[in-house]
Protein backbone atom coordinates (compact mmCIF):
# COMPACT_ATOMS: atom_id res chain seq x y z
CA UNK A 1 0.00 0.00 0.00
CA UNK A 2 3.02 2.30 -0.52
CA UNK A 3 2.66 5.63 -2.23
CA UNK A 4 2.99 5.85 -5.99
CA UNK A 5 5.03 8.72 -7.35
CA UNK A 6 5.06 10.31 -10.78
CA UNK A 7 8.36 11.14 -12.44
CA UNK A 8 8.70 13.39 -15.43
CA UNK A 9 11.94 12.09 -16.91
CA UNK A 10 12.97 14.92 -19.18
CA UNK A 11 15.77 15.39 -21.70
CA UNK A 12 17.11 18.43 -19.84
CA UNK A 13 15.39 18.40 -16.44
CA UNK A 14 13.40 15.91 -14.41
CA UNK A 15 10.71 16.38 -11.83
CA UNK A 16 8.92 14.19 -9.27
CA UNK A 17 5.45 14.59 -7.80
CA UNK A 18 2.98 12.75 -5.60
CA UNK A 19 -0.81 12.87 -5.50
CA UNK A 20 -1.95 14.03 -2.10
CA UNK A 21 -5.27 15.21 -0.71
CA UNK A 22 -6.81 15.49 -4.13
CA UNK A 23 -4.00 17.40 -5.78
CA UNK A 24 -0.44 16.78 -6.94
CA UNK A 25 2.52 18.07 -4.97
CA UNK A 26 5.90 18.67 -6.60
CA UNK A 27 8.62 17.22 -4.40
CA UNK A 28 11.74 19.38 -4.09
CA UNK A 29 15.15 17.71 -4.27
CA UNK A 30 17.85 17.84 -1.59
CA UNK A 31 19.02 21.21 -2.96
CA UNK A 32 15.51 22.61 -2.52
CA UNK A 33 14.80 22.80 -6.25
CA UNK A 34 11.64 21.54 -7.93
CA UNK A 35 13.51 20.32 -10.98
CA UNK A 36 16.72 18.34 -11.23
CA UNK A 37 18.99 18.58 -14.29
CA UNK A 38 19.00 15.23 -16.14
CA UNK A 39 22.78 15.08 -16.02
CA UNK A 40 24.92 12.24 -14.69
CA UNK A 41 28.69 12.50 -14.21
CA UNK A 42 31.31 10.09 -13.00
CA UNK A 43 34.24 11.50 -11.06
CA UNK A 44 37.77 10.07 -10.83
CA UNK A 45 36.75 7.94 -7.88
CA UNK A 46 34.04 6.35 -10.01
CA UNK A 47 31.23 7.92 -7.98
CA UNK A 48 28.13 9.02 -9.83
CA UNK A 49 27.11 12.66 -9.46
CA UNK A 50 23.56 13.47 -10.47
CA UNK A 51 21.75 16.74 -11.11
CA UNK A 52 23.07 20.23 -10.43
CA UNK A 53 26.36 18.94 -9.01
CA UNK A 54 27.01 16.99 -12.21
CA UNK A 55 26.12 20.03 -14.31
CA UNK A 56 28.43 22.29 -12.26
CA UNK A 57 31.48 20.19 -13.06
CA UNK A 58 30.58 19.46 -16.71
CA UNK A 59 33.23 21.82 -18.11
CA UNK A 60 36.01 20.12 -16.15
CA UNK A 61 34.93 16.59 -17.00
CA UNK A 62 33.15 16.63 -20.39
CA UNK A 63 34.00 13.06 -21.38
CA UNK A 64 32.41 11.65 -18.25
CA UNK A 65 29.42 13.94 -17.97
CA UNK A 66 26.42 12.46 -19.70
CA UNK A 67 23.32 14.45 -20.60
CA UNK A 68 20.42 14.20 -23.02
CA UNK A 69 20.39 10.38 -22.98
CA UNK A 70 16.66 10.51 -23.51
CA UNK A 71 17.55 11.18 -27.14
CA UNK A 72 19.25 7.76 -27.25
CA UNK A 73 17.05 5.58 -25.08
CA UNK A 74 15.55 2.67 -27.01
CA UNK A 75 17.14 3.82 -30.27
CA UNK A 76 19.55 2.11 -32.65
CA UNK A 77 22.93 3.77 -33.11
CA UNK A 78 22.12 4.14 -36.81
CA UNK A 79 18.92 6.14 -36.16
CA UNK A 80 19.06 9.70 -37.44
CA UNK A 81 18.41 11.13 -33.97
CA UNK A 82 21.25 9.09 -32.45
CA UNK A 83 23.63 10.09 -35.24
CA UNK A 84 22.68 13.77 -34.88
CA UNK A 85 23.19 13.62 -31.12
CA UNK A 86 26.55 11.87 -31.55
CA UNK A 87 27.78 14.86 -33.56
CA UNK A 88 27.19 17.31 -30.71
CA UNK A 89 27.78 15.16 -27.62
CA UNK A 90 31.19 15.51 -25.92
CA UNK A 91 31.03 11.87 -24.85
CA UNK A 92 31.20 8.87 -27.16
CA UNK A 93 27.99 7.39 -28.56
CA UNK A 94 28.46 3.92 -30.08
CA UNK A 95 26.54 0.80 -31.15
CA UNK A 96 26.55 -2.14 -28.74
CA UNK A 97 26.45 -5.70 -30.06
CA UNK A 98 22.71 -5.45 -30.72
CA UNK A 99 23.13 -2.19 -32.57
CA UNK A 100 21.56 -0.13 -29.75
CA UNK A 101 22.91 3.34 -29.07
CA UNK A 102 25.08 3.25 -25.92
CA UNK A 103 27.43 5.77 -24.35
CA UNK A 104 31.03 5.45 -23.33
CA UNK A 105 31.92 7.13 -20.05
CA UNK A 106 35.68 6.95 -19.68
CA UNK A 107 36.37 3.22 -20.08
CA UNK A 108 32.88 2.21 -19.04
CA UNK A 109 30.27 1.31 -21.61
CA UNK A 110 26.76 2.12 -20.46
CA UNK A 111 23.27 1.86 -21.82
CA UNK A 112 21.06 4.97 -21.79
CA UNK A 113 18.81 2.97 -19.45
CA UNK A 114 21.58 2.73 -16.85
CA UNK A 115 22.23 6.46 -17.05
CA UNK A 116 18.51 7.28 -16.82
CA UNK A 117 18.27 4.91 -13.84
CA UNK A 118 20.76 7.09 -11.93
CA UNK A 119 18.48 10.08 -12.49
CA UNK A 120 15.40 8.09 -11.49
CA UNK A 121 17.22 6.89 -8.36
CA UNK A 122 17.84 10.47 -7.30
CA UNK A 123 14.21 11.40 -7.95
CA UNK A 124 13.09 8.36 -5.99
CA UNK A 125 15.40 9.28 -3.10
CA UNK A 126 13.94 12.82 -3.00
CA UNK A 127 10.43 11.34 -2.86
CA UNK A 128 11.37 8.86 -0.13
CA UNK A 129 12.96 11.60 1.98
CA UNK A 130 9.85 13.71 1.52
CA UNK A 131 7.29 10.96 2.17
CA UNK A 132 9.29 9.24 4.92
CA UNK A 133 8.60 5.80 3.47
CA UNK A 134 10.07 3.58 0.77
CA UNK A 135 8.70 3.99 -2.73
CA UNK A 136 8.38 0.93 -4.92
CA UNK A 137 5.96 2.06 -7.60
CA UNK A 138 6.18 4.97 -10.00
CA UNK A 139 4.66 6.32 -13.15
CA UNK A 140 7.32 7.60 -15.55
CA UNK A 141 6.39 9.94 -18.35
CA UNK A 142 7.39 9.42 -21.97
CA UNK A 143 6.63 11.64 -24.96
CA UNK A 144 3.59 10.65 -27.03
CA UNK A 145 5.84 9.99 -30.04
CA UNK A 146 7.93 7.33 -28.22
CA UNK A 147 7.72 3.92 -29.90
CA UNK A 148 7.48 0.55 -28.15
CA UNK A 149 11.24 0.08 -27.85
CA UNK A 150 11.69 3.52 -26.31
CA UNK A 151 8.82 2.96 -23.86
CA UNK A 152 10.21 -0.46 -22.93
CA UNK A 153 13.70 0.97 -22.44
CA UNK A 154 12.30 3.69 -20.15
CA UNK A 155 10.53 0.98 -18.13
CA UNK A 156 13.84 -0.91 -17.91
CA UNK A 157 15.48 2.23 -16.53
CA UNK A 158 12.77 2.34 -13.88
CA UNK A 159 13.38 -1.29 -13.03
CA UNK A 160 17.14 -0.73 -12.66
CA UNK A 161 16.40 2.20 -10.35
CA UNK A 162 14.21 -0.09 -8.26
CA UNK B 1 -61.74 -14.32 8.59
CA UNK B 2 -60.46 -17.05 6.34
CA UNK B 3 -58.59 -14.57 4.28
CA UNK B 4 -57.01 -13.08 7.39
CA UNK B 5 -55.80 -16.50 8.56
CA UNK B 6 -54.29 -17.28 5.19
CA UNK B 7 -52.39 -13.99 5.21
CA UNK B 8 -51.04 -14.69 8.68
CA UNK B 9 -49.91 -18.12 7.61
CA UNK B 10 -48.20 -16.64 4.58
CA UNK B 11 -46.41 -14.14 6.75
CA UNK B 12 -45.27 -16.91 9.08
CA UNK B 13 -44.02 -19.00 6.20
CA UNK B 14 -42.09 -16.04 4.83
CA UNK B 15 -40.58 -15.38 8.24
CA UNK B 16 -39.54 -19.02 8.51
CA UNK B 17 -37.94 -18.96 5.11
CA UNK B 18 -36.00 -15.81 6.05
CA UNK B 19 -34.75 -17.40 9.25
CA UNK B 20 -33.62 -20.45 7.37
CA UNK B 21 -31.76 -18.30 4.85
CA UNK B 22 -30.10 -16.38 7.65
CA UNK B 23 -28.99 -19.56 9.41
CA UNK B 24 -27.58 -20.95 6.19
CA UNK B 25 -25.70 -17.75 5.34
CA UNK B 26 -24.16 -17.36 8.80
CA UNK B 27 -20.83 -19.23 8.30
CA UNK B 28 -20.13 -17.40 5.03
CA UNK B 29 -20.92 -14.09 6.60
CA UNK B 30 -18.60 -14.65 9.55
CA UNK B 31 -15.79 -15.38 7.10
CA UNK B 32 -16.46 -12.21 5.17
CA UNK B 33 -16.78 -10.24 8.42
CA UNK B 34 -13.40 -11.58 9.43
CA UNK B 35 -11.81 -10.50 6.15
CA UNK B 36 -13.51 -7.09 6.32
CA UNK B 37 -12.15 -6.74 9.86
CA UNK B 38 -8.65 -7.53 8.63
CA UNK B 39 -9.08 -5.10 5.78
CA UNK B 40 -10.10 -2.31 8.14
CA UNK B 41 -7.28 -3.20 10.50
CA UNK B 42 -4.78 -2.92 7.62
CA UNK B 43 -6.32 0.36 6.56
CA UNK B 44 -6.14 1.65 10.13
CA UNK B 45 -2.45 0.78 10.44
CA UNK B 46 -1.74 2.33 7.07
CA UNK B 47 -3.53 5.54 7.95
CA UNK B 48 -1.86 5.68 11.38
CA UNK B 49 1.57 5.29 9.75
CA UNK B 50 0.64 7.84 7.12
CA UNK B 51 -0.45 10.28 9.85
CA UNK B 52 2.85 9.85 11.63
CA UNK B 53 4.79 10.48 8.42
CA UNK B 54 2.65 13.50 7.68
CA UNK B 55 3.28 14.93 11.14
CA UNK B 56 7.03 14.49 10.67
CA UNK B 57 6.79 16.06 7.24
CA UNK B 58 4.85 19.05 8.53
CA UNK B 59 7.46 19.58 11.22
CA UNK B 60 10.22 19.42 8.62
CA UNK B 61 8.36 21.73 6.27
CA UNK B 62 7.80 24.22 9.07
CA UNK B 63 11.48 24.13 9.90
CA UNK B 64 12.38 24.54 6.22
CA UNK B 65 9.97 27.43 5.91
CA UNK B 66 11.78 29.24 8.70
CA UNK B 67 15.19 28.42 7.27
CA UNK B 68 14.58 28.84 3.55
CA UNK B 69 11.31 30.76 3.35
CA UNK B 70 13.11 33.90 2.28
CA UNK B 71 15.23 32.13 -0.33
CA UNK B 72 13.65 33.91 -3.30
CA UNK B 73 14.06 37.38 -1.90
CA UNK B 74 17.63 36.56 -0.80
CA UNK B 75 18.47 35.36 -4.32
CA UNK B 76 17.20 38.68 -5.66
CA UNK B 77 19.11 40.70 -3.06
CA UNK B 78 22.31 38.90 -3.93
CA UNK B 79 22.13 40.60 -7.35
CA UNK B 80 22.28 43.96 -5.57
CA UNK B 81 25.46 42.89 -3.74
CA UNK B 82 26.90 41.92 -7.14
CA UNK B 83 26.21 45.41 -8.43
CA UNK B 84 27.75 47.05 -5.35
CA UNK B 85 30.88 44.98 -5.89
CA UNK B 86 30.92 45.75 -9.60
CA UNK B 87 30.60 49.48 -8.91
CA UNK B 88 33.40 49.36 -6.35
CA UNK B 89 35.57 47.48 -8.83
CA UNK B 90 35.24 50.41 -11.25
CA UNK B 91 35.69 53.36 -8.92
CA UNK B 92 37.79 52.06 -6.02
CA UNK B 93 41.13 53.11 -7.50
CA UNK B 94 39.96 56.39 -9.00
CA UNK B 95 42.23 59.40 -8.38
CA UNK B 96 39.42 61.92 -8.06
CA UNK B 97 38.79 62.84 -4.41
CA UNK B 98 35.03 63.08 -4.91
CA UNK B 99 34.83 59.63 -6.48
CA UNK B 100 37.01 58.24 -3.69
CA UNK B 101 34.52 59.53 -1.14
CA UNK B 102 31.63 57.98 -3.06
CA UNK B 103 33.56 54.67 -3.14
CA UNK B 104 34.01 54.78 0.64
CA UNK B 105 30.29 55.44 1.03
CA UNK B 106 29.31 52.54 -1.22
CA UNK B 107 31.76 50.30 0.63
CA UNK B 108 30.10 51.18 3.93
CA UNK B 109 26.60 50.53 2.56
CA UNK B 110 27.77 47.26 1.04
CA UNK B 111 29.32 46.14 4.33
CA UNK B 112 26.19 47.02 6.29
CA UNK B 113 23.99 45.30 3.73
CA UNK B 114 26.10 42.14 3.90
CA UNK B 115 26.10 42.13 7.69
CA UNK B 116 22.33 42.46 7.82
CA UNK B 117 21.82 39.62 5.36
CA UNK B 118 24.35 37.45 7.19
CA UNK B 119 22.18 37.73 10.27
CA UNK B 120 19.43 36.06 8.25
CA UNK B 121 21.66 33.15 7.26
CA UNK B 122 23.21 34.38 4.00
CA UNK B 123 26.88 33.48 3.58
CA UNK B 124 29.32 34.05 0.77
CA UNK B 125 30.92 30.88 -0.61
CA UNK B 126 34.69 30.88 -0.29
CA UNK B 127 36.00 30.06 -3.72
CA UNK B 128 39.29 31.73 -4.68
CA UNK B 129 42.35 29.48 -4.26
CA UNK B 130 40.38 26.59 -2.84
CA UNK B 131 39.89 23.19 -4.48
CA UNK B 132 36.99 23.06 -6.92
CA UNK B 133 33.91 21.51 -5.33
CA UNK B 134 30.93 21.07 -7.67
CA UNK B 135 28.53 21.29 -4.74
CA UNK B 136 29.45 24.94 -4.23
CA UNK B 137 31.19 25.99 -7.42
CA UNK B 138 30.10 26.04 -11.04
CA UNK B 139 33.00 25.69 -13.45
CA UNK B 140 32.84 28.09 -16.39
CA UNK B 141 36.17 27.15 -17.92
CA UNK B 142 39.67 25.90 -17.26
CA UNK B 143 42.99 27.57 -17.89
CA UNK B 144 46.68 26.92 -17.33
CA UNK B 145 47.96 28.80 -14.29
CA UNK B 146 51.52 28.46 -13.11
CA UNK B 147 52.03 27.60 -9.47
CA UNK B 148 48.45 26.41 -8.99
CA UNK B 149 47.47 22.81 -8.53
CA UNK B 150 44.98 21.28 -10.94
CA UNK B 151 41.37 21.83 -9.94
CA UNK B 152 42.15 24.95 -7.90
CA UNK B 153 39.86 27.93 -8.39
CA UNK B 154 41.94 30.69 -9.99
CA UNK B 155 39.23 33.23 -10.73
CA UNK B 156 35.78 33.93 -9.37
CA UNK B 157 33.54 35.33 -12.07
CA UNK B 158 30.49 35.64 -9.84
CA UNK B 159 30.30 35.07 -6.09
CA UNK B 160 28.15 32.25 -4.79
CA UNK B 161 26.00 32.27 -1.66
CA UNK B 162 24.49 29.82 0.79
CA UNK B 163 21.39 30.40 2.88
CA UNK B 164 21.52 28.43 6.14
CA UNK B 165 23.99 26.04 4.51
CA UNK B 166 21.90 25.45 1.39
CA UNK B 167 23.42 26.73 -1.85
CA UNK B 168 21.15 29.36 -3.36
CA UNK B 169 23.67 30.29 -6.03
CA UNK B 170 26.85 28.41 -6.84
CA UNK B 171 29.99 30.50 -7.34
CA UNK B 172 30.84 30.76 -11.04
CA UNK B 173 34.54 30.03 -11.28
CA UNK B 174 37.48 29.38 -13.57
CA UNK B 175 39.74 26.57 -12.47
CA UNK B 176 43.38 25.65 -13.07
CA UNK B 177 44.37 22.91 -15.45
CA UNK B 178 48.08 22.52 -16.03
CA UNK B 179 49.04 19.62 -18.28
> Which pLDDT value is given to residue B142?
92
- Closest Cα to residue A71, out of A155, A4, A145, A125? A145
Together in a domain, B110 and B130: no
Verify whether the Cβ–Cβ distance A1 to B57 is below 8 Å. Answer: no
Q: What is the pLDDT of residue B57?
A: 85
Interface contact B46-A53, CB threshold 8 A: no
Q: Is the pLDDT of residue B44 over 90?
A: yes
Q: Is the pLDDT of residue B19 over 80?
A: no
Average pLDDT for B94-115: 92
Shared domain for B128 and B166, answered yes or no, is: yes
Q: How many domains does chain B have?
A: 3
> Per-residue pLDDT for B162 more than 60?
yes
Q: Are B52 and B96 in a shared domain?
A: no
Q: Judge whether A53 is closer than 8 Å to chain B, CB to CB.
A: yes
In this structure, the answer to whether residues B19 and B59 fall within a common structural domain is yes
Binned at pLDDT 50, 70 and 90, residue B3 comes out as: low
Same domain flag for B97 and B64 = no
Pick from B104, B101, B59: nearest CA to B84: B104
The predicted structure's pLDDT at residue B27: 61
Closest-CA residue of chain B to A61: B139
| Any B CB within 8 A of A130 CB | yes
User: B31 and B7: one domain?
Assistant: yes
Number of A:B CB contacts under 8 A?
42
Q: A59 and B142: CB-CB below 8 Å?
A: yes
A83 interface with B at CB cutoff 8 Å: no
CA distance B84 to chain A (A): 26
User: Which chain A residues are within 8 Å of B49, Cβ to Cβ?
Assistant: 133
Final residue of a structural domain among B79, B94, B120: B120
Q: Do A56 and B139 touch (CB under 8 A)?
A: yes
Does B23 score more than 70 pLDDT? no
| Same-domain status, B139 and B106 | no
A101 neighbors A82 (Cβ within 8 angstroms): yes
Q: How confident is the model at residue B80 (pLDDT cuts 50, 70, 90)?
A: very high
Is there a single domain that holds both residue B75 and residue B46? no
> pLDDT band at residue B147, thresholds of 50, 70 and 90?
confident
Across the interface, whether the CB atoms of B135 and A58 are under 8 A apart is answered: no
**A18 in B contact zone (CB under 8 Å):** no
B64 and B2 in a single domain? The answer is: yes
pTM score of the predicted model: 0.78
Closest-approach residue (CA) in chain A for B58? A130
Write the residue in A32, A54, A56 that is nearest to B137 by C-beta: A56
Identify the CA nearest to A89 among candidates A71, A73, A74, A116.
A71
Tell me chain B's radius of gyration from C-alpha atoms: 38
- Residues B89 and B60 occupy one common structural domain: no
Task: Using 50 as the pLDDT threshold, list the residues of chain A that sit under it.
Answer: none
Mean pLDDT, to the nearest integer, of B119-144? 93
Same domain, B9 and B54: yes
pLDDT in the model for residue B1? 44
- CA nearest neighbour of B76 among B170, B171, B157, B168: B168
Domain that includes residue B159, residue range? 124-179
Task: Check residue A157 and give its pLDDT.
Answer: 93
CB A94 within 8 A of CB A77: yes
- Whether the pLDDT of residue B131 is over 50: the answer is yes
Same-domain check for residues B58 and B105:
no
pLDDT of residue A34: 92
- For every residue of B52-105, which 3-state class applies, written as one string? HHHHHHHHHHHHHHHHHCCHHHHHHHHHHHHHHHHHHHHHCCCCCHHHHHHHHH
Write down which residue in B78, B96, B120 finishes a domain.
Answer: B120
Query: How far is the C-alpha of A152 from the C-alpha of A13, rounded, in Å?
Result: 21
Tell me the CATH number at B147: 2.30.22.10
Helices B2-68 and A112-131 pack at an angle, to 10 degrees, of: 100
Rounded to 10°, the helix A112-131/A148-161 angle is: 50
End-of-domain residue from the set B68, B88, B103: B68
Amino acid sequence: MGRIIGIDLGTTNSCVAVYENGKYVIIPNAEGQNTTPSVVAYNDKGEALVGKVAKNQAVTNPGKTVYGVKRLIGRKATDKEALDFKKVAPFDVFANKNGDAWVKVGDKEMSPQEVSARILEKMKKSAEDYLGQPVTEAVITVPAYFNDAQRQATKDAGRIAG
Amino acid sequence: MQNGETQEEEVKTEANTNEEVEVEAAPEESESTESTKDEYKDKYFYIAAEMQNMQKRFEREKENLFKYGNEKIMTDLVDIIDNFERTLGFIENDEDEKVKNIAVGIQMINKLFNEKLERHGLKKIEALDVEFNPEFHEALSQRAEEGKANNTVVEVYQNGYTLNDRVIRAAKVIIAKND
